[in-house]
């Protein structure tokens, strides 16, 4: 069995993980040979109950598990219906945008209308990989924006090397009331644009990386009332665990980094982020 990172010191105020992939962590999606982090996470033989218990032990009391294709969206919706303190997001990831047929999108919308599903995502644009054409990605992104607006659910955005186009699509289509930039990857200027638009920015493990000063500058710009925190587990672990499997129980490391950047006590930032969670995803 793979040994996961040791648990950090617990937070003294509760907070939640706004974005993780429980299905990958527990092996519901078989990791490919090119996905060593997911392989390691699955080798640890985690269970949903174990993941939740470990998170709660350090003050991470709730989480949102996110879909990236139809199979994962169905699985996450089912788990959210079964587990207290878990919500789900459903969508077709931009890397899989070629699979976003009218029939698949209709099923995503059906899932999005379930009470335990509180987000449409992750959707958006990914110009780092060319697994789906830009044309397919834009069409899928626009369709998901409309689903979010019709269902009244938050829109969770995957934005990789596509900041300007993501903002343009949101402007052209008319953004839903609640928009979250998952694992925010922009700089301070991008953060200012999000602030002006009222978009939430969710910060993950990379904000702790030595070479990611631009992310800390963005976090400094982001007002507490527009901030969220996430793991993207099993990916993007905070230091000192870079390269190892991530999990919701490692949120305290990212939270303490963000609190230092903001110059506030971690408890205050936890309180703000928890309140933002209710604004974005609704009452738990």
Angstrom distance (rounded) from CA 60 to CA 11:
8
CB burial of 25-54 (b: ≥16 within 10 Å; e: otherwise) equals bbbbbebeeebebbbbbbebebebeebbeb
| Alpha helix ranges (H) inside 48-184 | 48-57, 70-82, 102-112, 134-151, 163-173
In this structure, the number of other CB atoms found within 10 A of the CB of residue 101 comes to 12
Angstrom distance (rounded) from CA 50 to CA 153:
28
CB burial of 184-217 (b: ≥16 within 10 Å; e: otherwise) equals bbbeeebbeebeeeebbbbbbbbbbeeebebbbb
CB burial of 103-123 (b: ≥16 within 10 Å; e: otherwise) equals ebbebbbebbebebbbbbbbb
Angstrom distance (rounded) from CA 174 to CA 206:
30
Per-residue pLDDT of the chain (284 residues; tens, 9 = 90+): 566 789 999 999 999 999 999 999 997 665 454 566 666 666 666 799 999 999 999 999 999 999 999 999 999 999 999 999 999 999 999 999 999 999 999 999 999 999 999 999 999 999 999 899 999 999 999 999 999 999 999 999 999 999 999 999 999 999 999 999 999 999 999 999 999 999 999 999 999 999 999 999 999 999 999 999 999 999 999 999 998 999 999 999 999 999 999 999 999 999 999 999 999 999 98
Instruction: Decide: helix, strand or coil at residue 17.
Output: strand
């Amino acid at each position: 069995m793979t040994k996961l990172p040791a648990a950090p010191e617990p937070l003294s105020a509760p907070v939640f993980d706004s974005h993780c992939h429980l299905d990958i962590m527990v092996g519901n999606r078989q990791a490919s040979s090119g996905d060593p982090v997911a392989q390691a996470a699955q080798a640890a033989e985690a269970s949903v109950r174990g993941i939740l218990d470990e998170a709660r032990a350090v003050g991470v009391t709730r989480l949102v598990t996110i879909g990236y294709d139809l199979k994962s969206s169905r699985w996450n919706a089912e788990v959210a219906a079964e587990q207290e303190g878990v919500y789900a997001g459903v969508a077709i990831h931009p890397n899989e945008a070629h699979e976003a047929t009218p029939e698949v999108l209709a099923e995503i919308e059906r899932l999005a209308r379930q009470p335990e599903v509180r987000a449409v995502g992750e959707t958006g644009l990914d110009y780092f990989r060319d697994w789906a054409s830009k044309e397919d990605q834009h069409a899928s992104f626009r369709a998901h924006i409309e689903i979010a607006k019709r269902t009244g659910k938050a829109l969770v955005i995957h934005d990789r090397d596509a900041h300007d186009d993501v903002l343009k699509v949101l402007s052209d289509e008319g953004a839903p009331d609640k928009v979250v930039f998952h694992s925010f990857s922009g700089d301070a200027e991008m953060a200012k644009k999000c602030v002006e638009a009222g978009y939430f920015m969710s910060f993950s493990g990379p904000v702790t990386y030595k070479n990611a000063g631009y992310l800390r500058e963005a976090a400094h710009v982001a007002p507490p009332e527009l901030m969220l925190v996430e793991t993207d587990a099993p990916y993007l672990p905070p230091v000192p665990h870079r390269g190892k499997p991530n999990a919701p129980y490692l949120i305290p490391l990212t939270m303490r980094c963000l609190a230092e950047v903001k110059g506030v006590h971690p408890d205050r930032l936890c309180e703000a982020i928890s309140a933002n969670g209710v604004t974005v995803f609704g009452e738990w």
